[in-house]
Every structure is written in C-alpha cells, then in structure tokens.
Amino acid sequence: MPEAPEKFNAAMTTWQEWQDAPWGRLRYAIAEANLARHLDDLGDGPLRILDLAGGDGGDAMRLAARGHHVTVVDHAPAMLAAATERASTAGLTELITCVRADVTALPADLAAGAFDVVLCHNLLQYVDDVPGILATALAPLKPGGLFSMMAINRHSAALSIAVRETDPAAALAALGTDRSRTQTFDSAVTLHTAERSSRSCKASAARTYGTTASAASATTSPTTRENTTRRSTRTLSNWNSPRPRCRPTCTQLGSSS
C-alpha cells in the first residue's frame, strides 16, 4: 500500500540531511546528468516538465535553474512547502509550480497537460500497482516527449549490505527478495531491476497509447492522442511513426533512501 503523507512529513529533516550527504548528492547529480543527455533533443526553448512524487523539489530545482518550467506533484504538504521555499530562495518561483495531489488520481489539467518531460524518480518503490502508476505517468506526455524513470536497484541491495554493513548472511538473504525498507522514511519498498522496470514501462506504453504489447519498444507511436485512445488494437505495422511518443530513460539507484 502507498505510504501516508504524514510519514513523509515527519521525516523532512532526515530527508534533507540525506540529500546533503554523499549518497543523496550522487543521486541528484546522476539524474541531472542523465536527463541533460536527452533534453537537448526535445527542441529549443523552455520545456514543460511534470515531476511526479517530486517531494521537496530536488530534481525540479536543477531543471528550473536551466530555464525549464516544472510542475511538482506530491501528496505530502511538508514536502511541497519545502519545495516552495527552495524555489523562493533560488529565485525560481516563476518556473516552479507545486500541486498537492495523489499521483494515482491526477487533476484533469495535469493528466491532459501534454508535457514535454515526465519524471518518475521517487515513486515506483512505494506502490503496488507499478503498471497502473506508469500508465498514469505516461498519459500526460506529449508526442515526442521524454519519460524518465528511476528505481532502487535490486541487484545492488545485496552488495550494499555486504560492503557497507559487512554482513554476508544478510547479503545472501537479500539476493532472494525484492523487498526492503528505507532508512530515511522507515518504509517498506519494492526493489526493481532495470530489466523489470523496462518491461513494465514498455507494457504500460502499449496500453496507454493503444499499441500491441509486442510493439512496445516505447520509441515510436501514433502522433495524436485521439488516434491512440480510439484505436486500442493497433498492429506493429500500423504503429510505426516518424515521431516518437515516449522515449524512456531508466536509471537504477544503488542505495535506498
């Protein structure tokens, strides 16, 4: 079950300390560098970016500093208050909009927002219905847009325990499970592999854009939302289009927050 917003509110101080620590700084540096490799391909001018479960704006601040317009969606009031304060301090209030909402039930204006980029960087580990969340996340993406997904890396969990905790027995046990707990929020989480995340993204893109599962490489699709919603059984041959609908970029994190 998704965690209640109160749990994230209560851990604000710990969360901010983690962001300032080496693991936290590395996580945001990796995300920024990975996105920078793709954003230039989306054209000139500021982009409209939707940051789902964006928390206190760690990713949003970096993107707004590059001149992009970022909408941060989160269900924890304390996180959004911190994001608003950070934007004000950085002089980025005109570029950052904070919206309190459940990601599983986005407001209509966001769900149909035709964003250039959608971020899903701190969400998958907390939800049970990953395909459903991904379908919701993909829906606001405009033709040719970029979907960026990050997840805690299941393959690194055992290595982290072995190296950082020097506990071989616990590391061996970690190899056989996809469940863990975050230290910051003391929350149960599901760990993902790059292969599993990629398959889930492709399958969700197929359902969201009316493609067949076998065609869901998430690199091409029909060029209009009307076509994809009305024609839900397109074949591979009909699916080819010169304009990409969704180009996923997936980053696996090596430690849980």
- Residue 61 is predicted with a pLDDT of 96
Instruction: Provide the residue ranges of all domains of the chain, joining segments of one domain with +.
Output: 5-253
Place of tokens 């927050």: 257
- Residue 214 is predicted with a pLDDT of 29
**166 backbone φψ class: left, alpha, beta (φ>0; ψ -120 to 50):** left
Q: Are strands 69-74 and 96-100 parallel, antiparallel or unpaired?
A: parallel
Dihedral in degrees, nearest 10, Cα atoms 94, 58, 43, 150: -150
Measure the CA angle with vertex 142, ends 30 and 61; round to 5°.
35
- Residue 83 is predicted with a pLDDT of 96
Per-residue pLDDT of the chain (257 residues; tens, 9 = 90+): 456 666 666 778 888 888 899 988 998 998 899 898 889 888 888 999 999 999 999 999 999 999 999 999 999 999 999 999 999 999 999 999 999 999 988 999 999 878 999 999 988 888 888 888 888 999 999 888 899 988 878 877 788 888 888 998 988 888 888 888 777 777 778 788 777 777 777 777 766 665 433 222 332 222 222 222 222 222 222 222 233 345 555 554 554 45
Fold of the domain spanning 5-253? Rossmann fold (3.40.50)
Helices 22-39 and 58-65 pack at an angle, to 10 degrees, of 40
Phi, psi of 254 (to 5 degrees): -95, -5
* Distance separating alpha carbons of residues 63 and 151, to the nearest angstrom: 19
Task: List, in order, residues 6 or more apart from 59 with CB less than 8 Å away.
Answer: 28, 31, 32, 51, 119, 121
102, 51 contact by CB (below 8 A): no
* Distance separating alpha carbons of residues 76 and 78, to the nearest angstrom: 6
- Residue 249 is predicted with a pLDDT of 54
Residue 139: name the closest of 246, 15, 249 by CA.
246
- Residue 210 is predicted with a pLDDT of 56
Cα end-to-end span (Å), the chain: 18
Q: Is 223 exposed, middle or buried (0-12, 13-18, 19+ CB in 10 A)?
A: middle
The two tokens of residue 94 are 């005109």
- Residue 173 is predicted with a pLDDT of 87
Residue 242's Cα: distance from chain center in Å?
A: 26
Residue 70: name the closest of 97, 43, 40, 106 by CA.
97
β-strand partners of 64: none
- Residue 244 is predicted with a pLDDT of 36
Give the predicted TM-score (pTM) of the model: 0.76
